[in-house]
């Protein structure tokens, strides 16, 4: 069965899911997106992800084409029609088609796309052995230029950092803010562990406040661990007992080497492994459940489209 993509009110085959070359998301990166995971039929932290999407839309003055409740239903239907219970969901809302000028007022309506598919951001080996990171020369965009809380389609800042990681043969790149403090990585949030206490960059440093990041903080505190949102530098990373990254795609993955410095004993640490295990359990139960959706709305099938 061909993958079905939700596009502006209907489900279409993957190879027919096309948008205009005049869409300002394509021309200017003018739009927003979210990545959500589903585990065993549970759309993890669905409402938190959607709220962040709608907050981003408000900041960019994009008129969302559906309500947040309707969006939640669309996401569930996209999973159901593709017979997926474990998946990665990508929501994209662009400014929509306009002319070749920059003025968003020339765009008559936003374009809404919802994709549900499988994803594996890192190979399994990285979860078993950990990954290496490097510090990028590219700095995180300062908040007075563009607020990092907006998850926009323009990811060139992060992509340039990822290119540096690729060129160094590393799995990720640490990004500093313009004061030299660690903000996040190119696609993940970062945590360090020292003396059984956990530290992660504070939101005011310009990072994207990840949903997985916030969930890990909850999971860690439920395990009796102290978690602090604060400032720190690469010096603190090099001398940490453990370092790990979090993200919707990455989930929880250990860092064992940073800028050629070995972290701890060079293997994923016990606290990181425990947090990953408990996070997966948490993610499988917290969110919007497909079983409840089907009971309320019925099961959308390919034949029904």
CATH of the domain at 247: 3.20.10.10
| Mean pLDDT of the region 121-126 | 82
Residue with tokens 């009971």: 295
Contact assessment for residue 287 and residue 37, using Cβ atoms and an 8 Å cutoff: no
Q: Given this model, what pLDDT does residue 251 score?
A: 95
* 204: in domain: yes
Give 189's DSSP letter: E
Q: Are 105 and 206 members of one domain?
A: no
Higher pLDDT, residue 305 or 198: 198
Distance of CA 252 to the CA centre of its chain: 12
* 182: in domain: yes
Distance of CA 156 to the CA centre of its chain: 15
| Mean pLDDT of the region 90-94 | 98
Q: What is the pLDDT of residues 252-273, one digit of tens each?
A: 999 999 999 999 999 999 999 9
pLDDT category at 303 given cuts 50, 70, 90 is: very low
Q: Are 174 and 261 members of one domain?
A: yes
* 274: in domain: no
Q: Are 254 and 176 members of one domain?
A: yes
Q: Given this model, what pLDDT does residue 298 score?
A: 86
Q: Given this model, what pLDDT does residue 304 score?
A: 43
Q: Are 57 and 112 members of one domain?
A: yes
Candidates 23, 7, 21; CA nearest to 81 is: 7
Q: Are 207 and 237 members of one domain?
A: yes
Distance of CA 265 to the CA centre of its chain: 29
Residue 82 clears pLDDT 50, i.e. is over it: yes
Q: Are 43 and 155 members of one domain?
A: no
| Mean pLDDT of the region 91-103 | 97
Q: Are 195 and 83 members of one domain?
A: no
* 273: in domain: no
- Chain mean pLDDT for the chain: 95
Q: What is the pLDDT of residues 129-145, one digit of tens each?
A: 999 999 999 999 998 89
Q: Given this model, what pLDDT does residue 124 score?
A: 85
Q: Given this model, what pLDDT does residue 120 score?
A: 76
Q: Are 229 and 149 members of one domain?
A: yes
Q: Are 141 and 226 members of one domain?
A: yes
Candidates 2, 4, 3, 78; CA nearest to 34 is: 78
How many domains in the chain?
2
Report the CATH number at residue 17.
3.30.470.10
* 248: in domain: yes
Strands (E), 40-166: 42-44, 87-94, 111-117, 131-135
Residue 305 clears pLDDT 50, i.e. is over it: no
Residue 302 clears pLDDT 70, i.e. is over it: no
Q: Are 251 and 129 members of one domain?
A: yes
Sheet holding 4-7, edge to edge: 10-13, 4-7, 111-117, 87-94, 31-39, 42-44, 287-289
Q: Are 96 and 160 members of one domain?
A: no
* pTM (two decimals): 0.94
Residues assigned a catalytic role: 151
Q: Are 99 and 131 members of one domain?
A: no
* 282: in domain: no
* 76: in domain: yes
Residue with tokens 């374009």: 111
Q: What is the pLDDT of residues 210-247, one digit of tens each?
A: 999 999 999 999 999 999 999 999 999 999 999 999 99
Q: What is the pLDDT of residues 31-53, one digit of tens each?
A: 999 999 999 999 999 999 999 99
Residue 301 clears pLDDT 80, i.e. is over it: no
* 277: in domain: no
* Owning domain of residue 15: 4-119+288-300
Q: By percentage, how much of the chain surpasses pLDDT 90?
A: 92
| Mean pLDDT of the region 160-184 | 97
Q: By percentage, how much of the chain surpasses pLDDT 70?
A: 98
């Amino acid at each position: 069965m061909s993958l079905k993509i939700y596009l502006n009110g209907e489900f279409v085959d993957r190879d027919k899911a096309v948008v205009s070359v005049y869409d300002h998301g394509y021309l200017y990166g003018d739009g927003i997106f979210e990545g959500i995971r589903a585990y065993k039929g549970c759309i993890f932290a669905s409402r938190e992800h959607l709220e962040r999407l709608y907050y981003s839309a408000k900041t960019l003055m994009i008129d969302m084409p559906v309500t947040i409740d309707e969006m939640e239903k669309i996401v569930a239907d996209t999973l159901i029609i593709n017979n997926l219970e474990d998946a990665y969901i990508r929501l994209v809302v662009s400014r929509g088609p306009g002319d070749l000028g920059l003025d968003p007022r020339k765009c008559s309506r936003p374009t809404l796309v919802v994709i549900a598919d499988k994803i594996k951001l890192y190979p399994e080996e990285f979860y078993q052995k950990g990954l290496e990171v490097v510090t990028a020369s590219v700095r995180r965009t300062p908040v007075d230029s563009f607020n990092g809380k907006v998850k926009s389609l323009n990811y060139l800042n992060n992509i340039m950092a990822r290119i540096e990681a690729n060129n160094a043969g590393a799995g990720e790149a640490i990004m500093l803010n313009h004061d030299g403090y660690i903000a996040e990585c190119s696609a993940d949030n970062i945590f360090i562990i020292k003396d059984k206490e956990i530290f992660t960059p504070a939101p005011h440093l310009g990072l994207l406040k990840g949903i997985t990041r916030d969930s890990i903080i909850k999971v860690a505190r439920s395990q009796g661990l102290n978690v602090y949102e604060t400032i720190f530098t690469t010096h603190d990373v090099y001398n940490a007992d453990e370092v790990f990254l979090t993200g919707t795609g990455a989930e929880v993955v250990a860092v064992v080497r940073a800028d050629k410095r070995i972290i701890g004993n060079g293997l994923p640490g016990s606290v990181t492994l425990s947090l990953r295990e408990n996070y997966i359990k948490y993610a499988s139960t917290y969110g919007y459940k497909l079983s409840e959706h089907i009971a309320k709305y019925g099961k959308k099938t390919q034949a029904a489209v």
